[in-house]
Amino acid sequence: MASSSSTIDIPDVLLTKVRKFRLTPSKAPITAQVYKIDKKTLTLELEEELLTGLTSVEDLIEELPENSPRFLIVNYKLNHRDGRVSYPLFLLYWAPQTSSLDQSTLYASALSNFSVKSDVAKVVDVRDGDLSSKQLDERLGA
């Protein structure tokens, strides 16, 4: 049975993948699951998992489409000013300004529901197509 909202379907199997990703420890600097909405079926689907090869936020941004929104569940190595290291999990909402209005609207309407269903409270919104490690660290409270 699929969990649904008024906008898109979020299949239970997808939420299971999010939970598995959350519970799988990683010491990589950054790992992510990339999700897209199938416009024909209005269903959220896992597009790819980026589990190796990424060393920075800039590497992650490089993997994303230039003209289409995406949701990413991201596990990120955060170095705090006091020397602590944490691995926060957050939802990255990738919404480049070059996206079509209908796509941007569809993703924006699904964002809150996906955040709640995936149990990821921290949302980082990227609309200008650019995000540096320094900006992300500040947004995550390092």
pLDDT in tens, 68-110: 999 999 999 998 989 999 889 999 999 999 999 999 999 999 9
Summarised one tens digit per residue, pLDDT across range 28-77 is 899 999 999 999 999 999 999 999 888 999 999 999 998 999 999 999 99
pLDDT of residue 5: 42
pTM of the model: 0.90
How many other C-beta atoms are found inside a 10 Å radius of the C-beta of residue 100? 11
57/67 Cα distance (integer angstroms): 18
- φ/ψ of 69, rounded to 5, equals -70, 160
DSSP string, 69-99: -EEEEEEE-EE-TTS-EE--EEEEEE--TTS
pLDDT of residue 33: 97
Domains of the chain: 3-139 (3.40.20.10)
